[in-house]
Each structure stands twice: as C-alpha cells, then as structure tokens.
A and B are shown apart, each in its own frame.
Chain A
Amino acid sequence: MHRFAKPSVFLKLTAPILPWLAGATAILIAAGLYFALFASPIDYQQGDTVRIMYLHVPSAWMGLFCYVGMAICGAMSLIWKHPLADICARATAPIGATFTALCLITGSLWGEPMWGTWWVWDARLTSMLILLFLYLGYIALVNAFDDPDRGSKAGSALALVGAVNVPIVKFSVDWWNTLHQPASIVRMDGPAVDPSMQLPLALMILGFTGYYFVVLILRVRLELNERRIRALHLSGMFDDNAQDAEPYDPGHNAETSQ
C-alpha cells in the first residue's frame, strides 16, 4: 500500500483506469436510472414518489461512505504521513458534503408528500444535518491556514474526532423512535425492500460509488498536477528573462513526465 502513496505511481496507475471507471459508472447510473424511473413498480401506498428513494438512499450512503473514507485518509496521513492521503481527504470533503446535502434535499422533497412536512427534528435527520456541518467545518478548517500542510493535519484530526457521528447516523433509527423508517437494506435478516426495487437501488448505489471514485481520481490528479506546475514555475522554467536559470530537475517524477 505504501508503494501507491507515491504521487508519480498514482498518476501512472490511474491514467489507464480512469476511462474504464468513468464508462462503468456512466453505464451503471444510466441503467439504474432506467430501472428506477421506468422498469420498477410503483409503491402501493406511495405511488410514484417512491422513486425518490433511488436518489435518496444512494446519496445517504455516499454521505457516510465519504466521511468514513475521509477519516481513514486522515488517519493514514497522521500515522504514515502520506502526502497522497492528505490530498485524498481534502478531495473527498466537497464530494461528501454535496452528497449529504443531496440526501437532505431529496429526503425533504420525499417527506413533504409522505409525512406532510419538509423537516422533522428526529434523530436520523438531525444527525445527518450534523454530518453536513462536520463536512463544512472540515472544509473551512483545511482552508484556514496559510500553510496547506498545517491545514491538512488539523483537518485530519477533526475528521477523526467527527467520526463519532457516523455510527450515530447509522443506528439513530434503531436507538430512538423516529419518523424515519428503520434500517431496511443492511440488517441481520436480509433486506426488507422488494426484490424488484433492490435491483435499481443496487445499480444506483454502485453507480454513485463509482462516480465518487471518478471524481476523487480527477481531483487528486488535478491537485498533483497543480503542484507540479507550481514547482515548475518556482524553478523559473517559464520565465523568459531568466535564460541562465537552473533547469528544472524532474527528480522522482521523471518517469511519468510526458
């Protein structure tokens, strides 16, 4: 695993993977949307509004998944000081925050026709809202320092402390009496969702997860390339007036430079 922590190895490995992953994600989401919107039955009580579920549940899953990923990256950066783990944690935060917000918005749109209210202060909704605040706090903290490394480290510590909230979100529906329904997919006696609805749900969850990895890889590559450009600028390579400047030393990145 430590081998992959080298930025040049990451760039070389992800270049061929990226198009395949992006393609697979596009197919999964397209298929998932087809099944979710056309080829799945309507609910006998909820009618067509049940289709909101196919966006709501994967978004909720991604909100938690991204936070766990961010906390693991934070732990890795604190323990082994991987530069790549820092960048991954930073890149994950806005994606996770967006999915969490999407989950809250779709949940609100679903709640209005079903529960008759846009928002209730029950445990699941509130803990999800706190998750969103934790993401926003992380993003604000990471960007609050002049030295990006210091920001990443402070952010890693916060991500780990905030991880207390993840099990609370997951089990809030079991620990408290909530308006939100109890766990229906991941539970001991098998999923409680009808098989005809499981397929589109699974496709959407896989598609969203794939989307996360595509965007993550893109964002990490962007950050790495930005750093490389900054290093080139600092070395004076783009400076026309400095003909006698030291030539840029590609160092350990040499093997991947085009």
Chain B
Amino acid sequence: MNGFTAILRRDLQLAMRQGADSVMVVAFFIVTTTLFPFGVGPEANILARIASGVIWVSALLAAMLSLERVFQTDYEDGTLELLTLSPVSLEVVVLGKVVAHWLTTGLPLIVAAPLMAVMLNMDTDGFVVLMIAMLLGTPALSLIGAIGAALILGARRGGVLVSLLVLPLYIPILIFGAGAVEAALLGMSATAQLQIMGAILLLALAATPFATAHALRQAME
C-alpha cells in the first residue's frame, strides 16, 4: 500500500507541475464535442437526441489520447526499468499509475460532461445518470487503456497503434454508458445498464493490472 501511495503521489505531482495535461484533455473533449453541432446542424432536438452518444464518444477519444503518457515518458527516461526492479510488485505500480491517470483525465471529464450536455441541449433528466455512468465508466477506460499503453512501448507509430488496440475494447463501455443515459431520458430505469458498467469496472479492476504488468515486463526484457 505504501508503494501504491508513493507512485500515486509521484504521478499526481508530476501532472500538477507539468499542469497542461489535464487541461489539454478537457480542451480536446470540449473541442471535439463542439464539432458535432457544426457537423449535424444546430437544430436543438437533433442535438438533444445525439447528446449522450456524442459526449461518450468524445470522452472515449479524450481518454485514449492521454494514454500514451501513462508509461511512455517513464519508459523513455528509464524510470520504468527501476520501477520493475523495485520490491513493490509491478501490479501495484500499474494500479497506482492508472489511478493517477484517472484522477487527472477521467475526473476532469466528468466535471466537463454536464457543461457539454447543457450546450448540446440534453434533457435534465439524464444528467445524474450521465454523471454516475461516467463515474463507473471512465476508471474502466483508464484500466483497459493501460494494457494498450503498455503493449505499444517501443513500437513504431505507437500513438496510432494504441487507438486500434484500445478502441475495440472500449465499445462495451460506450454501448452501456450511452444506453444508460438513453434509458434515463426515456423515463425508464437505468439500473440494469449501470449495474453492467459496474460489473465491467470490477472485472477490469481485477484482471487488467496483471495483463498490463505482464506487458510492461515484456517491454523491459
């Protein structure tokens, strides 16, 4: 647990000092969402209809774009090598880095999401469910994305590659995340979708640190 908090504190400190990273993710999220009204036209009812999907897709892309820096900089300057040699198990290190990634990207996205929902004219019935769904979904995005980020270490054109690896695995979260908001907007209960998202999160929490740690060990060989 000590190792976990140490890693978490270190990554958060780095993110704070470099600063721009979280802002960039949110800016990317807002800019991407803003593109849709230009693309499909400004009619309020059409925007309200697609709002939940647009917000989820933009959040997915924003979370994915920030994945590269989870391990890449540490890999390049040799920190990762020392972390693999440290007595703290690599799975714990991975979990610490993922939590730091979520705190610096997932959390700002959740805060920005209602703002974009208002701008897209989404009905207020969906707001609470949107927030809960993102609260369950974005940690899973960070957890699953970490596998992709670890696999591409040392690869050519890693940034493009990570999208091809990670986006197919993100699709279930997109389906149930958008589905939950959709259900709430139609006045139905979104419990089923939220429960499935919770299940996905727990499964990812239990399984992905091992896969990511394994991929890191390969990259270090």
Contacts and interface: CB of A to CB of B under 8 A. Distances in A.
B168 A154 contact: no
Main secondary structure of the interface of B (DSSP, over half): helix
Given A154-B215, A157-B151, A157-B218, A146 B168 contact: no
Interface stretch (A3-11, A32-40, A61-69, A132-140): A132-140
B168 A141 contact: no
Interface string B162-186: 0011011101000000000000000
Interface in B10-24: none
- Most chain A Cβ neighbours within 10 Å, of B155, B158, B161: B155
B152 A141 contact: yes
A144 B215 contact: no
Contact of B167 (A133, A144, A154, A161): A133
Contacts of A161: 147, 169, 211
A134 B155 contact: no
Interface residues of A, number: 22
Contact of A158 (B151, B154, B158, B219): B151
A145 B219 CA distance: 11
- Most chain A Cβ neighbours within 10 Å, of B157, B164, B167: B164
Nearest to B203: A164
Contact of B154 (A78, A134, A150, A157): A150
Contacts, number: 60
Interface string B77-98: 0000000000000000000000
A144 B169 contact: no
Given A145-B154, A145-B155, A161-B147, A150 B218 contact: yes
Interface in A118-176: 126, 130, 133-134, 136-137, 140-141, 144-146, 150-151, 153-154, 157-158, 160-162, 165
Size category, B interface:
20 to 34
A100 to B, nearest CB: 12
Given A144-B158, A146-B156, A161-B147, A154 B218 contact: yes
Contacts of B167: 133
Contact of B161 (A78, A144, A160): A144
A201 B161 CA distance: 38
Contacts of B164: 133, 136-137, 140-141
A130 B168 contact: yes
Nearest to B211: A161
Contacts of A153: 218
Given A133-B168, A161-B169, A154 B151 contact: yes
Contacts of B165: 137, 140-141, 158
Interface string B191-221: 0000000000000000000010011001101
A141 B218 CA distance: 14
Contacts of B219: 150, 154
A158 B150 CA distance: 11
Contacts of B171: 126, 130
A134 B168 contact: yes
Contacts of A141: 151-152, 155, 161, 164-165
Given A137-B161, A144-B157, A157-B151, 11 more contacts: A130-B168, A133-B164, A141-B151, A144-B158, A153-B218, A154-B152, A154-B219, A158-B151, A158-B165, A161-B169, A162-B169
Interface of B: 147, 151-152, 154-158, 161, 164-165, 167-169, 171, 211, 214-215, 218-219, 221
15 contacts: A126-B171, A130-B168, A133-B168, A136-B164, A137-B168, A144-B158, A144-B161, A150-B218, A150-B219, A157-B147, A157-B211, A158-B151, A161-B211, A162-B168, A162-B169
Interface of A: 78, 126, 130, 133-134, 136-137, 140-141, 144-146, 150-151, 153-154, 157-158, 160-162, 165
The 6 closest A-B pairs by CB, nearest first: A144-B155, A133-B168, A137-B164, A137-B165, A154-B151, A153-B218
